[in-house]
């Protein structure tokens, strides 16, 4: 086991990793920007070092600065959390060059699965169903030709996409050219790669993801599914596990396909394969996330498996001791992402000082956050300020528990979306589990 780990991230995920390390007896090193000098992860780590100004590009994405701190502190491994450098093969390779273990997927897997076009081809070869579509389309002329075969509506998607960026919906031929140019420009700006491909737009579908743990000896473990269909502009806002729409038979099929896909690419560590599920029960590969997911706590709450600790164990060379038959899901969990934003004004991001904070509590209630009373939220980073997760024996009990926890939560000083979650939890489409990925778009139209 490692004796010291650097956490190359911030906010609640940095704290999540620090806590796991402390419980494992592993020393921690935090890095922070000038804007995060008073952040909670800075004080919780055993050592903390400033690596640059507030903007992430000059601090948390500064690979050489992070590796320099790691070497000077004598760390053996770096945990990247999620986002930022977590799926950056160049950073993983830089760590390896300096004799530091990158706690994540192998570089080759990140490169292959991070290229959404290559990932589709790989999954087809593995016998995993993929959404009907086409490979890369270099020009608008190529896109127009392929679109006639795919049919409208369709999605233009960035090869290097993520976080909902580089995606455009095209309902008719006349919309394709401007959408193509817009998606290419956004992808180039966000990822430095403007390459695009296209897929048939599947409507009234569920977004289902399967959690993986794979060790260095080829063992692959699937820890059930999460329903991530409650989305606004391709951004998840609420997740639950297990999915109401997944029968035991379908879960077995998804598990088998997911394990086969992981073994095909030689996956190691914690990862997720995301699928679209139609009303007829047909599922299609969408993408693979070669990192820990924001919503990993719902899986932890229903399985009792600590995914972060297993990430660290696997990276240190320890084999999985959990078997597939050991995974029993007999509880239900829900996660609500608490964002500092103003729902009354188009979900405009909100910054400011937390003047009052009350954290909800009780059995099976978890509040992952970096907030504390008096903390000032900086303007440079993602608007998510907390994750509220609950678990209960049944889905109905979990919904009531989440409603109670949201009502108990107090965060004053910034606008946030707790009331939006309270409203959603009471709507019939959520209560009966029939909501799909386009539910909010139709609801708010």
Using alpha carbons, select from 8, 103, 3 the residue that is nearest to residue 65: 8
Could you tell me the two tokens for 70? 């790691």
Q: What count of residues does the chain have?
A: 445
Asked if 143 and 155 touch (Cβ cutoff 8 Å), the reply is no
**All residues at 6 or more sequence positions from 99 whose CB lies less than 8 Å from its CB, including other chains:** none
Could you tell me the two tokens for 443? 């609801």
Instruction: Count the Cβ atoms, other than its own, within 10 Å of residue 135.
Output: 13
What SS3 state is found at 29? strand
Per-residue H/E/C for 270-324: EEEEEEEECCCCCEEEEEEECCCCCCHHHHHHHHCCCHHHHHHHHHCCCCCCCCH
17 phi-psi bin (left φ>0, alpha ψ -120 to 50, beta other): alpha
Distance CA 45, CA 31 (A): 9
The helix (run of H) or strand (run of E) holding residue 263 is helix 248-265
Using alpha carbons, select from 159, 166, 108, 112 the residue that is nearest to residue 133: 159
CA angle 161, 66, 164 (to 5 degrees): 15
Q: Is 293 exposed, middle or buried (0-12, 13-18, 19+ CB in 10 A)?
A: buried
Asked if 82 and 292 touch (Cβ cutoff 8 Å), the reply is yes
Active-site residue, 291 included: yes
| Widest CA span in the chain | 60
Q: Which of 159, 226, 291, 331 is catalytic?
A: 291
Asked if 389 and 331 touch (Cβ cutoff 8 Å), the reply is no
The residues that are catalytic are 291
């Amino acid at each position: 086991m490692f004796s010291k780990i650097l956490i190359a991230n911030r906010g609640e995920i940095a704290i999540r990793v620090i806590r796991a390390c402390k419980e494992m007896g592993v020393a921690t090193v935090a890095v922070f920007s000038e804007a995060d000098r008073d952040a909670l992860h800075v004080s919780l780590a055993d050592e903390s070092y400033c690596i640059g100004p507030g903007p992430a590009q000059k601090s948390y994405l500064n690979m050489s600065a992070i590796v320099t701190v790691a070497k000077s502190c004598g760390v053996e491994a770096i945990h990247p959390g999620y986002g930022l450098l977590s799926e950056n093969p160049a950073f993983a390779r830089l760590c390896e060059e300096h004799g530091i273990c990158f706690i994540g997927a192998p570089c080759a897997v990140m490169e292959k699965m991070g290229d959404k076009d290559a990932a589709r081809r790989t999954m087809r070869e593995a016998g995993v169903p993929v959404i009907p579509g086409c490979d890369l389309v270099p020009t608008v002329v190529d896109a127009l030709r392929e679109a006639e075969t795919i049919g409208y509506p369709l999605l233009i998607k960035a090869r290097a996409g993520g976080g909902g960026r580089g995606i455009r919906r095209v309902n008719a031929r006349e919309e394709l050219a401007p959408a193509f140019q817009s998606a290419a420009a956004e992808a180039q700006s966000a990822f430095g790669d403007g390459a695009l491909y296209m897929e048939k737009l599947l409507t009234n579908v569920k977004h289902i993801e399967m959690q993986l743990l794979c060790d260095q000896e080829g063992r692959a473990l699937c820890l059930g599914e999460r329903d991530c269909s409650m989305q606004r502009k391709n951004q998840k806002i609420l997740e639950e596990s297990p999915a109401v729409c997944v029968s035991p038979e379908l879960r077995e099929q998804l598990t088998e396909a997911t394990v086969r896909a992981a073994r095909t690419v030689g996956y190691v560590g914690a990862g997720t394969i995301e699928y679209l599920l139609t009303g007829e029960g047909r599922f299609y590969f969408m993408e693979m996330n070669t990192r820990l997911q924001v919503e990993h706590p719902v899986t932890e709450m229903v399985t009792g498996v600590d995914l972060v600790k297993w990430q660290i164990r696997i990276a240190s060379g320890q084999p999985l001791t959990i078997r597939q038959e050991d995974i029993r899901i007999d509880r239900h969990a829900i996660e609500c992402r608490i964002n500092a934003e103003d729902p009354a004004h188009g979900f405009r991001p909100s910054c400011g000082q937390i003047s009052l904070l009350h954290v909800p509590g009780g059995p099976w209630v978890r509040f992952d956050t970096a907030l504390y009373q008096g903390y000032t939220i900086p303007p440079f980073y993602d608007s998510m300020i907390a994750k509220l997760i609950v678990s209960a024996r049944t889905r109905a009990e979990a919904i009531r528990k989440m409603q109670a926890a949201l009502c108990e939560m107090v965060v004053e000083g910034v606008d946030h979306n707790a009331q939006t979650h309270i409203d959603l939890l009471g709507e019939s489409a959520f209560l009966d589990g029939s909501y799909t990925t386009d539910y909010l778009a139709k609801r708010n139209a």
